Amino acid sequence: MTRRLEGRTAVIVGGTSGIGLATARLFRSEGARVAIIGRDRTRLEQACEALGPDIYTIAADASRPSDLAVAFETIKTRFERVDVLFANVGAAHCPPLRETTEDFFDRLFATNVKSALFGFLAALPLLSSGASVIFTGSATHARGRPGDALYLATKAALRSLARTLAADEDVLARRIRINIVSPGPIHTAMTAELAADPDIDAWVRAQVPMGRWGAADEVARAVLFLASPDASYTTGADLAVDGGLAQI
């Protein structure tokens, strides 16, 4: 049986834990050469230990365009091209709205939005004909939710960005597909403390029609679909992996 990403090069920006790590593992099992860009060298080393020595890692702060430019120059030297780009960097914690500072606003948008845009721009010269680009959004980016105003604003910006980039003439001429995957509540290291709170856990289960948290592997399989030839006629789309949270 042919593996869906056989011989392809996949770059995951933010792949040292959770959804990114699960996706890196799945991409590798489907035949891809995988490069992970992350900020924390220790976590990059741990990802290598978890995935195997053939995983290529680059330490870079994805919120800094200059770091991303250097990272993709390194990838160009090693792999020459990029067939799949998964922009998965993200932060979710928000202070109460009235306590939000300009510094926090700038840092959150730099982490969640600037990293995706400038990661795409740095990768663009390396993207092969028919390449796939995937951003990580949120199932609630189109909803209002008190307490998460800035986080949801960043994810709404990513949704708009995916549509806009997918319609770019050069992108279309090169048959590059750009989509977004929007998870609901997912069990990861970032959500472990929330999931361990009985009240929050009960609230999540009551909100999600399927009555449970999702798993990182479930999101990874959706990313694999968007990355693979199975999604050859899909661009500008928002694929929800949310247990029906934003759908029903």
Total domains in the fold of the chain: 1
pLDDT over threshold 80, residue 148: no
Query: How far is the C-alpha of 79 from the C-alpha of 41, rounded, in Å?
Result: 21
- Give the domain range for residue 208: 9-241
- Looking at per-residue pLDDT, the higher value among 6 and 2 belongs to 6
Domain membership flag for residue 163:
yes
Domain membership flag for residue 94:
yes
Which of these is catalytic: 27, 72, 151, 213?
A: 151
What is the rounded average pLDDT of the residues 113-117? 96
pLDDT of residue 227: 98
Domain membership flag for residue 3:
no
Domain membership flag for residue 2:
no
pLDDT of residue 192: 83
Domain membership flag for residue 246:
no
pLDDT, one tens digit per residue, over 162-215 is: 999 999 999 999 999 999 999 999 998 888 888 899 999 999 999 999 999 999
pLDDT of residue 99: 78
pLDDT over threshold 70, residue 147: no
151 is catalytic: yes
Domain membership flag for residue 56:
yes
pLDDT of residue 171: 98
pLDDT of residue 98: 78
pLDDT, one tens digit per residue, over 57-107 is: 999 999 999 999 999 999 999 999 999 999 999 887 777 777 788 998 999
CB atoms within 10 A of CB 203: 13
Q: Kindly report the average pLDDT of the chain as a whole number.
A: 93
Please report the sign of the dihedral spanned by the C-alpha atoms of residue 133, residue 138, residue 139, residue 144: negative
Helices 18-29 and 216-227, packing angle to 10 deg: 50
Domain membership flag for residue 51:
yes
Straight-line distance from the first to the last Cα atom of the chain, in angstroms, rounded to the nearest whole number: 36
Cα of 160 vs its chain's centroid, Å: 15
Q: Which CATH number do you get for residue 228?
A: 3.40.50.720
pLDDT, one tens digit per residue, over 208-238 is: 999 999 999 999 999 999 999 999 999 999 9
Domain membership flag for residue 19:
yes
Q: What is the number of alpha carbons within 13 Å of residue 217 lying toward its C-beta?
A: 3
pLDDT of residue 146: 67
